[in-house]
Amino acid sequence: MKNCSFKIDGRVCTAEKGLNLIEAAKQNGVFIPTLCHFKHLYPLGTCRVCTIKLNGKSAAGCTVHVADGMDIEVNTPELLDTRKAILEMMFVEGNHFCPSCEKSGDCPMQNLGYETGIKYTRFPHLFIDRITDARPKRIVVNQNRCIKCRRCIEEVKTFDGYKVFYSVNKGNKTMVSIDYEQEAKLSELQAAHAMQICPTGSILVKGKSFSKPFGDRLFDAVNEEKMLPVNGLKKHRTTAKKKIVATTSLAGCFGCHMSMLDVDLGILDLFEVIEFNKSPLTDIKNFTKHCDIGLVEGGCCNTHNIEVLREFRKNCDILVSVGECAIWGGLPAMRNTFPLEECLKESYLDSMTSEENETIIPNHEDIPKILNKVYANHEIVKIDHHIPGCPPDANHIWNVVKHILFQEEYSIMHPKYKYD
Amino acid sequence: MNRIGLLNKLWEFQNKFGYISENAIAQIAQKLSVSKIEIEGVVSFYHFFHRQPTGKYLIYLNNSIVSEFKGFQQIKAAFEKETGCTFGSYDENPLFSLFETSCIGLSDQEPAALINFYPFTHLTPEKVKTIIQQLKNGNSLSFISSNPTSKIQYIPADNKTIFFRKYEMGIALKKLKNHTPNEILNLISVANLEGRGGAFFPTAKKWKSCKQSDSVKKYIICNADEGEPGTFKDKSLLNNLPGLIIEGMIVAAYITGATNGFIYLRAEYSYLLEKIENTLREFQTNNLLGNDILGIPKFNFNIQIQVGAGAYVCGEELALIESLEGKRGEPRIKKYFPTEYGYLGYSTIVNNVETFAMASRIIELGTNFISTIGTKESKGTKVLSISGDVAKPGIYEIEWGMTVKEILHLCQATSPYFVQISGPSGICINNTEFDRKICKEDLICGGSIMVFNNFRSITKILENYTQFFKEESCGICTPCRAGNQILHEKIKKIKKGICTAQDLEEIKEWGKIMKLTSRCGLGHFSANTLVMALDKFEGYFNQKIIKANENLNVEFDMEAAVYNYDSLIKDTQ
């Protein structure tokens, strides 16, 4: 085959003529992220993560075949942001609760989230109720996680050539469904292959989803950085005034606070330059001073959360959402796909232990009211920074804080991003 | 039975049993040697196919924006009251099933509905009552249905009219005898004909590409899947001049050497089916279709009609071809033009109804005649469908270059404020732009103008559009499928009155992302009007947004957020 020469971001590249751009770019050391493209499959062009510009016009990279003279843009700021936006769309369209996902750590979509540096999504989460179908023989299909890339539709077939997966419905109701009859014909190996090519945790094989332990997974951070005390603080000791920090946990699990404490003795160094005001760490209940920075763990699930958050906004110059729950609702937001009525009835009136007409849904003027759904903090007040993670690790949190308080350069490396 | 006949087979089941049962799907899947889910996928793509039993009378009420402003809600309530059924549910009523549907091409006669695909227009609650009563009494639908013909409100002077002038069968075709295909193609090229579906791709270029293709078989497809809300100009051509369209297709076949043609007719226009079929038969009897047409040896061409099944996106040519092949109507990736790789992989021409009609007239009237009409870039006339807040809704054949103001005057618009050109995926204009001319140089128009006066809520208009795109996206690519849902969330925010200037900025940015990344035109243009309206109706939106509390910077409606809890507590006490 003939080689051809084309340009990627102004650099001259060569590859076999007619080769798929994703592969051609890879050969030339340029990585174009994609979720639907899969080796030999006829280009699907469904996920659109690989959007590039070809001679000034946008196109899905996986549908482009290189030819002489092509001028391709891949990593312009606009395209990088667009790619991130498409991924964010996927995160808000489905219900991606990474911390409770079997695929976490082995999930290309999650990894792309890290790669593109998603800290929070610019879009509102849709929280649509979707089904998890465990009726098939070997496979469980979790529609919450499906991004409709169609790899499985094209790739997974029975020995006699029947498709196992196919798209049904259209518009916002589109989903990838499974044919029970054909699925039952799949061999163990074929089923495992289906799980493997799924770029999210949507297709799982029963009994196999945890066969690889966390920590050994493809995208797990390899060498865990040693827990170092927060260094370099001493030089700030001369700063005239100690910086004042407040923290709180709203609808969270206190895990982020636990994580903050993981700096161990480093906290003593911290105390030399900062002072805590309202915080569970000090047990100061009410603000006594105006603070430089407020760290908020957890999202808002009741009126009290909102009041506290608003108070934080008033009393802190800079407000930081720490952890997934604060950023978009996290695990508590799992209830967002159900009407509040159903949730409360299930917990208080129709639960196994409740006796008919004996229990009520808690309500009293002294207890906060439950909101119709769990809200992300930035939906309630302006949030200045987001620290993703479940939980974010201690060094990460304190480095960000240090950066904000003392304007110190700190670049976050991608292994620091962890949604699980 | 083979795959390309799938849509017809499904229609058979749908018409005979009122739905497509599990059994039917299994049967078809077995015959086609595919898995059941694949058939299920096709069935569920088209909204006129049902998977659960329906009543004897299937009522589809149009929910487009024009209908909404003309009393959709009352009519909907009236239907529910009279039939005792609920819209969108399969409640096992043996007589009636009620569904909403997007524009059915009767915007000039709203509110309108289709009952078993018979049209019922200008509905009022009283009228609904009568209709339902009549149906319960067993009156025949053909007897009680309305005449869906759109009134032709305006045509230019005789020497400037192109479409709605006298027509006799074979009027254009008789000229083919004395000219070679190349000469005919040249006429099309000289007349500068461009695709009238809204994309305005040069027709001669498309036809030439097909002509030059060495494909063993070639196909000519007439796209009569006019789904853009507010558009019904193709319907008027199909109804008044079916022969003209067919001649255009035959001209295309003559040029390219195609032997087979399709008219992909949207199911909403099923009531025109008989008329078109009769016309085709007449053409056959007169040796204008079939073998050795006009006595020209080896000039063989036949036309079949394929009825769609309810999917807006099938108006996109690559989606239409997929649908013809018996698949889900999802646009193919734009690797090839249909003239390179079209229907079943063969070279295929897909053109709009009006384009074929225009091609016939070009051959008939000659390029000299055409060139005297219109503007420099847009030659001839354009058929427009006008609806909304105007005294004279209907069909207008205008000379290219007419200003919006003149048009608004002609149709007697009452205090026009928000004018939608080319449907929801087109553009909106405000009253500073009414001097713009409808032509390629200025304001290009695919064929629909919807006029809204200043009493109409712009938010309502935009929400209706977004809702439409949200449901009609084929769902194959992320930005269109998710993007329209996300934009809808923003519009809900505007409605709730908790929208800030920041939100409007975000709508613009997000619209840009959808435009950049979507797979086909639907996604490229679905945020268009919304984004445009924010600038063009700035005053309106400035009143809509609220200045957020400076300290919090975000507006949040706590009362609304605890409403559910409060009412639940009240109910369970």
Structure confidence by residue, pLDDT tens digits, B109-167: 999 999 999 999 999 999 999 999 999 998 888 899 898 888 899 999 888 999 999 99
Do B106 and B131 have their domain in common?
A: yes
Name every chain A residue with its beta carbon within 8 A of the beta carbon of B556. Answer: 306, 375, 379-381
Q: Which residues of B touch A181 (CB under 8 A)?
A: 35-36
pLDDT in tens, B302-351: 999 999 999 999 999 999 999 999 999 999 888 889 999 999 999 999 99
Does the residue A411 lie in any domain? yes
Q: Enumerate the residues of chain B whose CB falls inside 8 A of the CB of residue A171.
A: 470-475, 481
Residues of B in contact with A344 (CB under 8 A): 565, 568
Residue type, B263: I
Query: For chain B, how many residues are written?
Result: 573
Would the CB atoms of A170 and B473 count as touching at under 8 Å? Answer: yes
Beta bridge partners of A251: A299
CA angle A241, A243, A245 (to 5 degrees): 155
Residues B28 and B67 in one domain: no
Cα–Cα distances (Å) from B381 to A27, A337, B245, B374, B428, in that order, read 53, 53, 16, 6, 22
The number of CA neighbours under 13 Å toward the Cβ of B539 is 5
Is residue B214 located within the same domain as residue B108? no
A71 and A107 housed in the same domain: no
Complex prediction ipTM? 0.90
Q: B176 lies in a domain?
A: yes
- Quote the number of domains for chain B: 4
pLDDT for B334: 81
Q: What is the pLDDT of residues A156-203, one digit of tens each?
A: 999 999 999 999 999 999 999 999 999 999 999 999 999 999 999 999
Q: How much is the average pLDDT of B37-46?
A: 94
**A264 in helix, strand or coil?**
coil
Residue A94 burial (C-beta neighbours within 10 Å; 0-12, 13-18, 19+)? buried
Give pLDDT tens digits for A81-130: 999 999 999 999 999 998 888 888 889 999 898 888 888 899 999 999 99
Q: Where are the alpha helices (DSSP H) in A279-372?
A: 303-315, 324-328, 340-344
Is residue B469 in some structural domain?
yes
Cβ separation of A382 and B479 shorter than 8 Å? no
* Residue A2 near residue A67, CB atoms below 8 Å: no
A113: left (phi over 0), alpha (psi -120 to 50) or beta: alpha
B41 and B70 belong to one structural domain: no
List the structure tokens of B302.
């036949």
Residues in chain A: 420
Parallel/antiparallel/unpaired status of strands B260-265 and B96-101: unpaired
Q: What is the CATH number of the domain that holds A15?
A: 3.10.20.740
Same-domain status, A263 and A341? yes
Higher confidence at residue B572 or residue B424? Answer: B424
A120 in a domain, yes or no? Answer: yes
Q: In this structure, what DSSP letter does residue B198 have?
A: T
Indicate whether A136 and A245 sit together in one domain: no
Whether residue A86 and residue B479 make contact (CB cut-off 8 A), yes or no, is: yes
How confident is the model over B9-32, as a mean pLDDT? 93
The two counts, helices (H) then strands (E), for chain A are: 12, 17
Structure tokens at A68: 């002489």
Residues B470 and B326 placed together within one structural domain of the fold: no
Q: What b/e readout covers A25-39, taking b as 16+ CB neighbours within 10 angstroms?
A: beeeebebbbbbbbe
Structure tokens at B175: 């000229």
Same domain, yes or no, for B78 and B199?
Answer: no
A43–B333 CB contact, under 8 Å: yes
Confidence of residue A271 (pLDDT cuts 50, 70, 90): confident
Which DSSP helix (H) or strand (E) runs through B530? helix B528-536
A83 is a domain residue: no
Q: Do A374 and A338 fall into the same domain?
A: yes
**Contact indicator for B503, B493 with CB cutoff of 8 Å:** yes
- B390-443 confidence digits (pLDDT tens): 999 999 999 999 999 999 999 999 899 999 999 999 999 999 999 999 999 899
**B7 belongs to a structural domain:** yes
- In this structure, the answer to whether residues B84 and B178 fall within a common structural domain is no
- For B11, the domain range is 3-45
Strands (E), B317-433: 347-352, 381-388, 394-399, 416-421, 427-429
CA distance A404 to chain B (A): 20
In-domain check, residue B95: yes
Work out the minimum CA distance from B475 to partner chain A, whole angstroms. Answer: 5
In degrees, rounded to 5, the angle at the alpha carbon of residue B54 between the alpha carbons of residues B53 and B60 is 145
Please report the residues numbered 25 through 54 in chain A whose beta carbons come closer than 8 angstroms to any beta carbon of chain B. 43-49, 51
Chain A, residues 219-278, CB within 8 A of chain B, namely: none
Which residues neighbour B100 within 8 Å (Cβ) at sequence distance 6 or greater?
Answer: B60, B61, B62, B63, B76, B87, B88
What CATH number is associated with residue B334?
Answer: 3.40.50.11540
Tell me which residue range forms the domain holding A245: 234-416
Same domain, A110 and A64: no
B37 and B93 co-located in one domain? no
Number of domains in chain A: 3
Tokens at residue A86, please?
């498409």
CA distance A27 to chain B (A): 23
Q: In terms of domains, do B234 and B323 share one?
A: yes
* B243 and B303 both lie in a single domain: yes
Both A194 and A242 in one domain: the answer is no
User: What does pTM read for this prediction?
Assistant: 0.92
Kindly determine whether residue B335 and residue A43, on different chains, have CB atoms separated by under 8 Å: yes
Give the residue from A87, A85, A83, A113 showing the smallest Cα distance to A98.
A113
